[in-house]
Structure 1
Amino acid sequence: MRKALILGTGAAQVDAIRHLRDSGWWVVACSYLCEGPGLGLAHEFRQINITDVVGLEDLARSEGVEIVYSVGSDLAMPAVARVAGALGLRCFVSPELADLTQNKVSLRDYLRCRNISPVNYRQLRRPADTAAWDHFPAIVKPADSQGQRGVCRADSMPELLACLEPALAASRSATAIVEELLDGPEVSANVFVVDGGIVVNELSDRLVVADFPGGIPRGHVLPARCASEAALAQARVLAAECVRALGIDNGPVYLQMKMTPNGPRVIEITPRLDGCHIWRLIREARGIDLLAGSFQLLAGEPLQALDGPRRTDHVSLHFFQQPPGGRFARASHRPPATALYSEFYLQDGNPVTPINGHLEKVGYCLLREPACALP
């Protein structure tokens, strides 16, 4: 039986593990903690940090895996690229590109040098680095974290200084970035590239929790409807321009953008499938399976997941959310009777552990009606 190594056992990896199992693969999963909804789905589990390249390479060699991958995790992508490269396995990006897109400062530098998506920003490592910053309101983030950890809005210099400490604490390199706060609705772009050509470029509205600066997603709507068709066309062009500038020739690319009065602006780019199950939203609405397509490319199999009849349905994804610190109760999160699909990450009585520390995702469902219509 062919073997695959999946980095992580969180909710985002459940889709990958389940797909591989259903496709006849033996799945080895790893994480630095022995927990997560993917733990019980994998055939084997090894307690190894997903950033431990040496340990992961040893594991991959000893198991004879043919695929190394991770879904929805920026943290894992540099290790994925390095381990796959060391074993001569297929990989969508180089280690250097994985490092670049994982670091928000490096990515902003890269885009600025190519005059793509201009945004005022600055790298911060100490309070003195904030001197003369005058673009308020601003957003302060760790340079190399994920999951909306350590993100804070600042409307003045005192607030910027107060935001700096938690942002630095959430960064593995003790580096933060301050950016001008972009105004406008958010969209997600899921792009898929095959042999240098973009074959999928889908935009969805990214609905976020109000009054939280980190942009915690509460749902996604496909097709996007938050801006004019002309503005959305500009966003697709920007997504394609970014993919070409980064030199990505194969695989999925996820971009998060703001539709500002001055045009679309990039918030983040990462060469992987997103962590919000938008692949399932796209499959339901368009008949395209980006998850299956990704693994078909990695396995060197015929690419069939993108060949089906293209649909034009309107579908939305809605997250069930709960503050951290309490216990999960499924009865408190009932999917509508009209839901096309629903799934929960936790079992009744499981603790809701903090990730962003504000409002955590505990499950989701797909609907025909707009997610914004839900409470």
Structure 2
Amino acid sequence: MTKKALILLEGNMRGTGLLFVQAALRLGLYPITLSANPAWYDYLAAESIETIRVDTSNVDSLIQECSRLHATYNIAGITSVDESFYASVGKLCRHFDLPGPNPASIERCCDKFVQRQTLAEGGVPIPAFRMATNATDLESSAAEIGLPVIVKPAVGSGSYGVRLCRNLDELAEHTSYLLGGKHTWPSSPRILVEEFAQGPQYTVEIMGNEVIGIVAAEYGPLPHFVYRQFTFPAPLSDDEHQRIADVSLSCLRALDLGWGPTNIELRWTKRGPVVIEVNPRLPGTPDPQLVHLAYGIDLVAEHIKLVVGEEWDLRKRHSQTAAARFLVPDRDGTLDWIDGEGRAAAVPGVAEVKFYVNTKTPIVRKGDYRDCLGYVTAASPSLAETEVILQRAVHSISWSITPFLTPGNQRPLVSQVRI
């Protein structure tokens, strides 16, 4: 009998890729990953997943490879965990007559400047914004909007290259970083300068046109945007929840989305919900795990069902409060040790303890998602109880970082951190 294959374009090194592989196997599918370099994803070898090396930036090469696979397998669906390949997924699905997203909508959404233009035209509340391609443009854009401003690449994810610039010195420093060769650009530099929308941040999880729930997101210290904690569902009044949901659905209409998963980041400001970003994909870990812990909905499995043309089920199985705390270092250096995984996992109510790093790893903070050493998730019937569980778990984790040698510091001190 011919195997029903799920084709995955690229993977993910921090957990979501493994969730897709595991969910595909549970659903009786045979996952095959197409990647420019399969060695990037250690879980593929660990799970004995078939991988094929191919230029994933070239749609014609992908069509050729999928056509070759079609001679051996029944290709049931094609998808990706990586937003940057999601437009290619849509093109492949159209070529092979498979369910998939509209590639034009995805491309429009993945360009943050075009996305904002489209949202503005659709009447969606967003921050004031400008586009800059050089230092002069950037400075004049910031002056027009008024400091502080958010400065970020027009294409990217995970807060990569994103910074709050509160004064001219910070603006000059980040301009130098983005345009001085330290930031990697996929093409010519295009920088988005936008108003700093101040207020609590939320992420809305959507599948199709259905709002599944809203996550409360907390950051660490500014000027960077490194997540500290997620809480699901967010503690909101019925009116706040409805207003956020209404604005989120207006984003789908403006951007012509509505097939498959979308997660929308926004802030609750003085004028209510203001949309920061629309991401036409499933969120990364640990968001899917939190939704599963809180409501019993497996976002990854339900997405795969949609991809292969099966009926999905987004009904809540139960209702709990789930939260994740991220483990973030407060300095650069060499990680001597990290300890407490077993103790944290043993705390009743803890669902997962995940470390991304090994001992002797150089720690160089970049001010984005890559700074996280790992996370802890927990769930219980109430927010207060979940907070207590999470606090007990993270307090049992500690690590030691030896600062790098510098000309003025020939005798580095070991810093032991307990969260």
TM-score scaled to structure 1, two decimals?
0.87
Tell me, what secondary structure is at the counterpart of 2:372?
A: strand
1:286 corresponds to which residue? 295
Tell me, what secondary structure is at the counterpart of 2:306?
A: helix
Q: Are the equivalent residues in 1 in contact too, given 2:260–2:281 (CA < 8 A)?
A: yes
Aligned partner of 1:57 among 41, 63, 78: 63
Q: Are the equivalent residues in 1 in contact too, given 2:8–2:80 (CA < 8 A)?
A: yes
Corresponding position: 1:2 with 2:4: yes
Distance in 2, matches of 1:325 and 1:100, equals: 40
Q: Which one-letter code corresponds to 1:311 in the other structure?
A: H
Q: Are the equivalent residues in 1 in contact too, given 2:335–2:363 (CA < 8 A)?
A: no
1:312 corresponds to which residue? 319
2:310 corresponds to which residue? 301
2:199 corresponds to which residue? 184
1:122 corresponds to which residue? 130
Corresponding position: 1:258 with 2:267: yes
Aligned partner of 1:142 among 142, 145, 153: 153
Q: Are the equivalent residues in 1 in contact too, given 2:132–2:191 (CA < 8 A)?
A: yes
Q: Are the equivalent residues in 1 in contact too, given 2:226–2:367 (CA < 8 A)?
A: no
Q: Which one-letter code corresponds to 1:7 in the other structure?
A: L
1:172 corresponds to which residue? 186
Q: Are the equivalent residues in 2 in contact too, given 1:53–1:83 (CA < 8 A)?
A: yes
Distance in 2, matches of 1:355 and 1:21, equals: 36
Structure-to-structure mapping, 1:1-375, within 5 angstroms: 1-9=3-11, 10-11=13-14, 12-33=16-37, 34-40=39-45, 41=47, 43-64=49-70, 65-71=75-81, 73-91=82-100, 93-130=101-138, 131=140, 132-168=143-179, 169-173=183-187, 174-193=189-208, 198-213=209-224, 215-225=225-235, 228-303=237-312, 305-307=313-315, 309-322=316-329, 326=334, 331=339, 333=341, 335-336=344-345, 337-342=347-352, 344=354, 346=356, 348-349=358-359, 351=361, 356=366, 360-368=371-379, 369-370=386-387, 373=391, 374=394, 375=419
Distance in 2, matches of 1:228 and 1:137, equals: 30
Distance in 1, matches of 2:17 and 2:198, equals: 32
Q: Are the equivalent residues in 2 in contact too, given 1:187–1:206 (CA < 8 A)?
A: yes
Distance in 2, matches of 1:350 and 1:5, equals: 36
Distance in 2, matches of 1:354 and 1:15, equals: 28
Q: 1:241: how far off? A: 1.3
Q: Which moved more, 1:313-322 or 1:118-127?
A: 313-322
Q: Are the equivalent residues in 1 in contact too, given 2:32–2:50 (CA < 8 A)?
A: yes
Q: Which one-letter code corresponds to 2:323 in the other structure?
A: S
Q: Which moved more, 1:258-267 or 1:124-133?
A: 124-133
Q: 1:343: how far off? A: 5.0
Q: Which one-letter code corresponds to 2:58 in the other structure?
A: D
2:397 corresponds to which residue? none
CA RMSD in angstroms comes to: 2.7
Tell me, what secondary structure is at the counterpart of 2:204?
A: strand
Distance in 2, matches of 1:222 and 1:52, equals: 38
State which structure, 1 or 2, has the greater radius of gyration over its C-alpha atoms.
Answer: 2
Q: Which one-letter code corresponds to 2:242 in the other structure?
A: A
Gaps of 5+ in 1: none
Q: 1:180: how far off? A: 0.9
Please state which structure has a larger fraction of its residues in helix: 2
TM-score scaled to structure 2, two decimals?
0.78
Q: Are the equivalent residues in 2 in contact too, given 1:141–1:176 (CA < 8 A)?
A: yes
Q: Are the equivalent residues in 2 in contact too, given 1:37–1:346 (CA < 8 A)?
A: no
Gaps of 5+ in 2: 380-385, 395-418
Name the % identity: 20
Distance in 1, matches of 2:364 and 2:52, equals: 23
Q: 1:74: how far off? A: 2.1
Distance in 2, matches of 1:357 and 1:49, equals: 30
Q: Are the equivalent residues in 1 in contact too, given 2:295–2:319 (CA < 8 A)?
A: yes
Q: 1:106: how far off? A: 0.7
Q: 1:324: how far off? A: 7.4
Mark the CA change 1:222 to 1:346 in structure 2 (over 3 Å): closer, same or farther. Answer: closer
Mark the CA change 1:200 to 1:111 in structure 2 (over 3 Å): closer, same or farther. Answer: closer
Mark the CA change 1:4 to 1:99 in structure 2 (over 3 Å): closer, same or farther. Answer: same
